[in-house]
Chains A and B, each alone.
Chain A
Amino acid sequence: MPQYLVAGYLPDDFDPSQVDEATGRAIHGLNKEMIAAGVRKFAGGLGAAKSLRAQTDGEVLITDGPYLETKEHIGGFWILECADMDEAMAWARKGVAATRGQVEVREIFFVPAPD
């Protein structure tokens, strides 16, 4: 069964404490629906980022903050097992509605052995 990353994007200054109860209930309800349908392999919300870059001397430099200098970042995601992209997109639509946010869908095209 193909796997899909359904990632939700949040602005940099997003404050989780401002999420209202209805949104929390909607996200919780969507997770329950995904589990009942047997499609949800993993789901998680993400915390602050650290970035690791190789230096020319071979050392790895670690800095606080996300790697990409953009105004939005992935706030959390689902890994779903779906029959095809259309099914993944149907869940992503529900993700937009539940999170009141923006969502990106990408196929996970290989899972490296050993699984």
Chain B
Amino acid sequence: MPQYLVAIQHPENYDPSLEGEAMIRDIGALNEEMNAAGARFFAGGLESASHAKSLRKQPDGHVSITDGPYLEAKEHIGGFWILECADMDEALAWGRKAVVACRVPVEVRAFLENPAEQKIT
């Protein structure tokens, strides 16, 4: 079964403590619905992007480590689901529900098939 990443996008200054009860209920219900449908492989909320660490390879071969997200953007992935769906249409249907439940924009991407990878998992 193909796997899809459904990632929610949060603004830089997103404050999870301001999430209302209705929103928390909606997200909980969506998680339960995904589980009941057998679609949910993994789900996780990420610590805010300001707590990210970025690792960059320097021309001399050393790896520099800095605090903060790698991309200089005003929004970052706040959390995500990895879903097992029949096709992109099914993944997009879950994505639509995620937009409504989480009150944020969502990005959906398919995982690439990697035959070499399958052998070692």
Contacts and interface: CB of A to CB of B under 8 A. Distances in A.
Contact of A3 (B44, B55, B65, B116): B44
- A7, A52, A62 interface centre (most CB from chain B within 10 Å): A52
B29 to A, nearest CB: 11
A35 B107 CA distance: 28
Contacts of B55: 89, 92-93, 95-96, 102-105
Interface string B40-76: 0111111101011111110000010100011111010
A68 interface: yes
Interface string B15-27: 0000000000001
Contacts of A70: 71-73
A104 to B, nearest CB: 4
Nearest to A67: B107
Given A35-B121, A60-B96, A102-B55, A112 B27 contact: yes
A41 B120 CA distance: 13
Nearest to B24: A112
23 contacts: A7-B70, A44-B5, A47-B109, A48-B109, A50-B109, A51-B105, A52-B96, A52-B99, A60-B96, A67-B105, A70-B72, A92-B53, A96-B55, A103-B54, A104-B55, A104-B70, A105-B55, A108-B45, A108-B47, A109-B45, A110-B45, A112-B28, A112-B43
The 6 A-B pairs of least Cβ separation, nearest first, read A108-B44, A44-B111, A104-B70, A45-B112, A47-B110, A67-B107
